[in-house]
Amino acid sequence: MDQLLQALVSGLLLGGFYAVMVLGFSVIWGVMGVINLAHGEFLMIGAYMAWGLFRLFGMDPFASLVLILPLMFLVGYLLQIVLINRIVERPHLMTLLVTFGVSIALANLFKLQFTSDPRNVAVAYNGSVQLAGVTFPIVKTIIFGAAMLIMVCLHFFLQRTRLGKSIRAAAQNKTAARIVGVDINRVYAITAGICIALTAAAGAMLSPTQAIFPFMGPPFTLKAVTITALGGLGRIPGALMGGMVLGVTEIFVSTYVPGIGTNLGVATSFVLLVLILVVRPQGLMGGLRPLDAEAE
C-alpha cells in the first residue's frame, strides 16, 4: 500500500514536470503544424544554461529562469524568422527534416563546447521530506509547483491577452486570421519564442535532478510526442493529463519491473505512443491536428 502510494506520488510529481516540458512542443505543433524534432535539444540548452549560471555565479537554477526565459525567447524568435517561417507552409516532411538536422547540429555543437561528460547542478536543498509516510523530494516538489504556476500563466496569456488571442486565431484558421489583420509571421515567431523559452525553462528546472549531457535530448522529444498523442495538441489541460499518465506509467514500470525497470522509461513511452497511434490515430482525447488541414 505504501509502495503504491509512493509510486503514485512520484509519478504525479514527474507528470507535472512532463506537462511543462511538453507545452512548448505541443503549442508549436498545434499553432503552426510543425513537429519540432529539436525539442529535446532546446531542453538540453536550458539545462546547460542553468548549469553554467550555477557554476559561474552560484545562481540557483530556479532563479536563473529570469535570465534564461528572455534569452531563449530571442533564440526561438530568431530561429523561426530565419529558418522555420521559410518552410512552414511547405509539406510537413520538410519541417521534420529541417528540425531533425537542427537537432543533430545542436547536440554536436554542445558536445564540441562542453564535451560529453555529464554535468551536475548540486543545489543545497537536495533532500526530501516525509509526509504521511510518503517521501517528497524537495526539488521535484518545487518543480511541480513551478510547472503548475507556468501552466496557469500560459493559460491566462492565451485566453485573455490580445496576443494570446491572435495566437489561437492563427492556430484555428490561418487564412481567416490573416484576413482580420493578424501578422502570421510575427505571431509564429512570438509563439516559437515563447515555446522554446518554456522548453529551456523546463530544462533548467530539470538540471538539479538529472545529469546534463549533450545527447540527453532525443528521449525527451519522444516523450513529448507521446504526451501530445495522449493529451491532444496545444491544450494545457491535455498536456497536464498526458504528462500525469506518462509519469505515473513510467514510475509504475520502474517500481514493479524488478531490476531493469528504472531504465525502461523511454521504451515505455515508445510502446505507449505506438499503441495510441495505432488504436486511435487522432490521439487519445481526439484533436491531434489533422495533418492535411492546410492542403484544403
- Determine the interface stretch with other proteins among 95-103, 170-178, 202-210, 233-241 (rule: CB under 8 A): 95-103
* Three-state DSSP class for residue 130: strand
Return the closest-CA partner of residue 128 out of 17, 212, 209.
209
Interface with other proteins (CB under 8 A), residue from 70, 101, 118, 145:
101
Asked whether position 105 contacts other proteins by CB under 8 A, the answer is yes
Residues 201-230 that bind other proteins (CB under 8 A): 215, 218-219, 221-222, 225
Q: Please, which residue, 139 or 239, has the CB nearer to other proteins?
A: 239
Asked whether position 84 contacts other proteins by CB under 8 A, the answer is no
Q: How far is the CB of 79 from other proteins (least distance, A)?
A: 11
DSSP string for 74-113: HHHHHHIIIIIHHHTTS-HHHHHHHHHHHHHHHHHHHHHH
Asked whether position 103 contacts other proteins by CB under 8 A, the answer is yes
**Is the backbone of residue 133 left (phi > 0), alpha (psi -120 to 50) or beta?**
left
CA distance to 50, 182, 271, per residue, from 65 (Å) = 8, 30, 33
CA–CA distance, 39 with 215 (Å, rounded to integer) = 12
Q: Please, which residue, 148 or 277, has the CB nearer to other proteins?
A: 277
| Total count of residues recorded for the chain | 296
CA distance to 39, 184, 267, 289, per residue, from 107 (Å) = 11, 30, 21, 29
Q: What angle do CA 216, 221, 15 make, to 5 degrees?
A: 90
Asked whether position 108 contacts other proteins by CB under 8 A, the answer is yes
- Determine the interface stretch with other proteins among 3-11, 42-50, 64-72, 257-265 (rule: CB under 8 A): 257-265
Interface with other proteins (CB under 8 A), residue from 22, 98, 233, 253:
98
Interface with other proteins (CB under 8 A), residue from 66, 74, 104, 211:
104
Instruction: Kindly list the residues in this chain that would bind other proteins in the complex (CB under 8 A).
Output: 35, 37, 83, 86-87, 89-94, 96-98, 100-106, 108-109, 111-112, 215, 218-219, 221-222, 225, 260, 263-267, 269-271, 273-274, 277-278, 281, 290-292, 294-296
